[in-house]
Amino acid sequence: MNLTPSLDAHKQVLLRALDPRDSKTLEARLPEIRSADLAEILERLIEDEDRLDSAVALLACLPVGRQASVFGHLPFEAQDAMASRIEDAWLSRILDKMGSDERADLFKVLGDDRKEALLRRMARREREALKRLASYEEGTAGALMTADYVAIPMGLTVSRAMMRVRQTAPDAETVYQLYVVDEHGRLAGTMSLRQLMVARPQAIIDELMIHDVISIGVDAEQEEVARVVARYDLLALPVTDTDERLVGIVTHDDAMDVVESEATEDIHKGMSIGQLEGGVSRVPLWSLYRKRVIWLVLLVFGNLFSGAGIAHFEDTIAAQVTLVFFLPLLIGSGGNAGAQAATLMVRGMATGDVGIKDWSKLLGRELLVAGSLGLTMALAVAPIGVIRGGEAVALVVAISMICIVLFGSLLGMCLPFVLDRLGWDPATASAPLVTTLIDASGVVIYFSIATLVLMGT
Amino acid sequence: MNLTPSLDAHKQVLLRALDPRDSKTLEARLPEIRSADLAEILERLIEDEDRLDSAVALLACLPVGRQASVFGHLPFEAQDAMASRIEDAWLSRILDKMGSDERADLFKVLGDDRKEALLRRMARREREALKRLASYEEGTAGALMTADYVAIPMGLTVSRAMMRVRQTAPDAETVYQLYVVDEHGRLAGTMSLRQLMVARPQAIIDELMIHDVISIGVDAEQEEVARVVARYDLLALPVTDTDERLVGIVTHDDAMDVVESEATEDIHKGMSIGQLEGGVSRVPLWSLYRKRVIWLVLLVFGNLFSGAGIAHFEDTIAAQVTLVFFLPLLIGSGGNAGAQAATLMVRGMATGDVGIKDWSKLLGRELLVAGSLGLTMALAVAPIGVIRGGEAVALVVAISMICIVLFGSLLGMCLPFVLDRLGWDPATASAPLVTTLIDASGVVIYFSIATLVLMGT
């Protein structure tokens, strides 16, 4: 992450104050720095400058509530590194002050021995809640949610509900949306604090609440969670288990982080890069290599088909070496148009703008657009064909351009739908895969047309 | 957008109830459908089925408050189409019930005559507020913000402030974060409703509020707005003018929409597709053509450099036609590796994970990773070289693979930084541009090595 100039200045002042310990400066400076920024300073200290000790010493200067907040903002690797230098009693105080979702996330980072030691220090109820939250699979609503919400039993009056809100306020992630549950813990309704504030104190909440609550199952994928939060402009989305019982909420800020990280994942997938755990500037080199090499090598073998196509037409090429001049241009153009078409579909499917049933309508549209694109590009390339090889070559190149762009675009457009149908991620239709497929087909299309026109006469 | 089965069912029932008018069914069904969903039904009616009249008739069945809410969820084209069938008096009632940001957005869609007619129906204060909000440039904090926030003058007691919140509650976008302003309207502090609720009623808010408020200038770009909201987990971000006066807030839901649409824009840019106004399934064909064709044609000319490279080495090719077999494979692999490197940088810069000063560190990392990638791919391709053309050809192909992958990756990695330095958008370093550049360089690298090894002996 990139330190803004002011953060860098903060960092320098803090480090100087740390050794020899200048408590006055530390006490004056630390409260001024927001937790997200302080977390970034610690992260830099650990990962760029290898100063884990300074990072732990800085953390120790904070009140424990802020320690928890800063810890929650750290990436997993930094959490892991710092936790290894923090003794059990201290770490369990930090855990105690963290939100239940961040606590579960930190817990997943720790080794089994450490987990056991920390669990022993917790009350039974907390221990079980933590174990449950930490058990949900990464990438689901369960792993994203927090158990710190305000639940109100049915039948309460507005004034009693308000009292409940005040009591829960210090611990809940949000007190602005209340969830009403029946005697079995099932989600029965919801009410905003705003509605509660303007309601008659003696009114019963059952009569005021919205019964038709938007909620999501605990196993739902996190993309789906984010999509629902965004679509209905929610402050928080309640999460229910298979028995319709309320088990947590996903807050707007966590949903927003999902949108951001899912977009990054999709962008990387679009270039056949596997999912990175962390930013590109910090992920280990070995992991970066692995995430990139798999498809690159697979595509080397894919590209052999282009080679085989060329080998098949070696006579035509030997007779007209000029044809090779246009080869990169033609297959490159087809690949570009095809990658565009694939990307438009994959992103459309990810945002919910395009569904599988729009397929035929989109095919018709792509046919028109790609036809026009091919024609335009054929017109652009034809004069060069005349100059380099005469009219016959120009004709071959122009016709090939139209065919390759049209074929490439349709292939790029259809592939995500086909993959989706086969139960694969449509994003597997990455630009490198699409261009490799089009390269091979383009070779065959181009030299077939050339053989027909030039060698046939 | 894709209608879920239940939405499609809703649509059918509503249409049947509309003609002949079955008010009972309409009254029973309409309140069950959420505004975002109803907007999608109207959108489909207008754009897919050309039933603008039915859409307007459905809108007319709603109470005016819900009309405003549904209108706010419609895309601009649909708003424009519907507004053209709604007379001034009705439209001004709808405008009156909309949030100030959505009102300004709708206003921008309308023609000048229409604007004048509607402005005349407004109170002077409202008219000026609307004109001001509509005047901010698209894509800035000003265009994104709403003027419906809760501002509290300094010096108020907690109980007076609470009263102010209750009064503003029906109109404000959020009442959960309050902004304290001084006598000149400058932002002096902030306080959450949660803090206010647990505070002593006689306390003065000046003593309780947070003085160091995170805010943003009215001209800030919307990406920056979204980044700040996400980083600090804000419910709303206050927006100030050049005199530090509070002029609006951007709420979390609007910031989330920005993250989503900016990601789509970046993904499209990554394939050299210009910014689309609307989803791929609905944008006009002509516009889709234009947004795709510009770079495709530019890159046709870029690809001529590959052709020129090939022409330069025609003697080598004629002597060893087998070399052409490996051409698509080598330049394709270089292009894929380079596009990966460029994409990693562009996305890293967009999320703030990578900054210009990380350049040298990242160059070193890329050198190591790309070197290993090139070596792996060379090992994969060498046996094929032996089979197709003997050991000398295998050597040429393997060395070329390493050089092209290394060169391509470094080019892809550096290009976004160079563009950024020149004041261009780093995302201009799209996969098609990078692969085209690498194609041309790859041709030269490959045939130079081939000439040296095969013809030199």
Helix (H, G, I), strand (E, B) or coil at A236: strand
The distance of Cα B261 from the centroid of its chain, to the nearest Å, equals 3
At residue B457, does pLDDT exceed 60? no
Residues A314, A385 within the same domain: yes
Does B90 contact A at CB distance below 8 Å?
no
Out of B265, B297, B332, pick the residue that ends a domain.
Answer: B265
Residues A379, A408 within the same domain: yes
Tokens of B452: 């040296």
Buried b (16+ CB within 10 A) or exposed e, B438-454: bbbbbbbbbbbbbbeeb
Residues B338, B419 within the same domain: yes
B274, part of any domain: no
Residues B256, B336 within the same domain: no
Q: Residue A370: phi, psi to the nearest 5?
A: -65, -35
Out of A135, A163, A196, pick the residue that ends a domain.
Answer: A135
Cα separation, A398 vs A381, whole angstroms: 7
Does A326 contact B at CB distance below 8 Å?
yes
What local confidence, expressed as pLDDT, does residue A403 receive?
Answer: 97
- Per-window interface: A 138-157 vs B, CB < 8 A: none
At A355, is the pLDDT very low, low, confident or very high (cuts 50, 70, 90)? confident
Does B2 contact A at CB distance below 8 Å?
yes
B270, part of any domain: no
Pair A82, A68: CB distance under 8 Å: no
A266, part of any domain: no
Tally of residues, chain A: 457
- Section B124-144 average pLDDT: 89
Closest to A394 in 3D by CA, of A454, A442, A334, A336? A454
- Per-window interface: A 198-217 vs B, CB < 8 A: 198, 212, 214
Does A243 contact B at CB distance below 8 Å?
no
What local confidence, expressed as pLDDT, does residue B363 receive?
Answer: 93
The amino acid at residue B384 is: I
Strands A216-217 and A151-153: unpaired
Residues B312, B446 within the same domain: yes
CATH of the domain at A77: 1.25.60.10
Residues in chain A closer than 8 A to B293 (CB atoms): 372-373, 376-377
* pLDDT mean across residues, chain A: 89
Q: Out of A233-242, A280-289, B389-398, which region has the weakest mean confidence (pLDDT)?
A: A280-289
At A5, is the pLDDT very low, low, confident or very high (cuts 50, 70, 90)? low
The amino acid at residue B221 is: E
What local confidence, expressed as pLDDT, does residue A2 receive?
Answer: 38
Cα separation, A76 vs A124, whole angstroms: 26
At residue B3, does pLDDT exceed 70? no
Residues in chain A closer than 8 A to B301 (CB atoms): 380
Tokens 């007076």 belong to B160
Kindly write down the DSSP assignment for every residue of B136-189, as one continuous string: SPTTBHHHH-BS---EEETT-BHHHHHHHHHHHTTT-S-SSEEEEE-TTSBEEE
Burial class from Cβ neighbours inside 10 Å (0-12, 13-18, 19+) for residue A96 reads: middle
Cα separation, B198 vs B59, whole angstroms: 43
A86, part of any domain: yes
Residues A323, A382 within the same domain: yes
Helix (H, G, I), strand (E, B) or coil at B341: helix
CB contact under 8 A, B354 and A266: no
Angle ∠(B237,B238,B239) on CA atoms, nearest 5: 115
At A4, is the pLDDT very low, low, confident or very high (cuts 50, 70, 90)? low
Tokens 């298979």 belong to A242
Tokens of A136: 């949900």
What local confidence, expressed as pLDDT, does residue B331 receive?
Answer: 92
H or E stretch covering B237: strand B236-240
Closest to A267 in 3D by CA, of B368, B427, B412, B231? B427
CATH of the domain at A339: 1.10.357.20
Pair A301, B378: CB distance under 8 Å: no
* pLDDT mean across residues, chain B: 89
Out of B77, B102, B135, pick the residue that ends a domain.
Answer: B135
Chain A interface mutation, best of B253, B265, B266, B401, highest count of A Cβ atoms under 10 Å: B253
Residues A305, A443 within the same domain: yes
CATH of the domain at B189: 3.10.580.10
Q: How far is CA B400 from CA A332, B261, B379, in A?
A: 20, 40, 12
Residues B335, B237 within the same domain: no
Does B344 contact A at CB distance below 8 Å?
yes
The angle that helices A5-18 and A52-60 make with each other, rounded to 10 degrees, is 80
CB contact under 8 A, B376 and A293: yes
Comparing CB atoms, the residue among B34, B270, B306 nearest residue A232 is B34
Cα separation, A130 vs A104, whole angstroms: 6
Tokens 């300074």 belong to A54
Closest to B146 in 3D by CA, of B245, B248, B221, B217? B248
Could you report the per-residue pLDDT of B289-299, keeping only the tens digit for each? 999 999 999 99
At A359, is the pLDDT very low, low, confident or very high (cuts 50, 70, 90)? confident
Residues A303, A353 within the same domain: yes
Could you report the per-residue pLDDT of A282-329, keeping only the tens digit for each? 788 888 899 999 999 999 888 888 888 988 998 888 888 888 889 989
Question: Chain B residue closest to A196 (CA)?
Answer: B166
Q: Out of A433-437, B28-32, B65-69, B213-217, which region has the weakest mean confidence (pLDDT)?
A: B28-32
Instruction: Measure in Å the smallest separation between the Cα of A117 and chain B Cα atoms.
Output: 32
How many Cα atoms sit within 13 Å of A187 on the Cβ side?
27
Residues A167, A79 within the same domain: no
At residue A422, does pLDDT exceed 50? yes
Tokens of A274: 């596997």
The amino acid at residue A75 is: P
A265, part of any domain: no
Could you report the per-residue pLDDT of B103-131, keeping only the tens digit for each? 898 888 888 888 888 888 888 888 888 88
Domain of B374? Answer: 285-455
Q: How far is CA B396 from CA A285, B189, B386, B390, B438, in A?
A: 28, 68, 10, 10, 18
CB contact under 8 A, B292 and A369: yes
Does B436 contact A at CB distance below 8 Å?
yes
B124, part of any domain: yes
Query: Can you say whether residue B244 is alpha, beta or left, with left for phi > 0 and alpha for psi between -120 and 50 degrees?
Result: left
Could you report the per-residue pLDDT of B235-256, keeping only the tens digit for each? 999 999 999 999 999 999 999 9
Q: Is B136 or B22 the better-scoring residue by pLDDT?
A: B136
Residues in chain A closer than 8 A to B362 (CB atoms): 280-281
Does B310 contact A at CB distance below 8 Å?
yes
The neighbour count for residue A341, using CB atoms within 10 Å, is 31
What local confidence, expressed as pLDDT, does residue B152 receive?
Answer: 93
- Section B276-295 average pLDDT: 85
- Section B22-40 average pLDDT: 86
Does B289 contact A at CB distance below 8 Å?
yes
What local confidence, expressed as pLDDT, does residue B289 receive?
Answer: 92
Could you report the per-residue pLDDT of A11-32, keeping only the tens digit for each? 888 888 887 778 888 888 888 8
Residues A240, A113 within the same domain: no
CB contact under 8 A, B300 and A233: no
Closest to B212 in 3D by CA, of A25, A6, A254? A6
Residues A359, A314 within the same domain: yes
What local confidence, expressed as pLDDT, does residue B456 receive?
Answer: 67
Pair A306, B332: CB distance under 8 Å: yes
Closest to A279 in 3D by CA, of B412, B333, B361? B361
At residue A48, does pLDDT exceed 80? no
What local confidence, expressed as pLDDT, does residue A1 receive?
Answer: 32
What local confidence, expressed as pLDDT, does residue B13 receive?
Answer: 85
Tokens of B408: 């391509």
What local confidence, expressed as pLDDT, does residue B438 receive?
Answer: 94
A276, part of any domain: no
Q: Is B239 or B170 the better-scoring residue by pLDDT?
A: B239
CB contact under 8 A, A343 and B169: no
A185, part of any domain: yes
Does A86 contact B at CB distance below 8 Å?
no
Chain A interface mutation, best of B166, B281, B356, highest count of A Cβ atoms under 10 Å: B281
Question: Per the structure, how many domains does chain A have?
Answer: 3
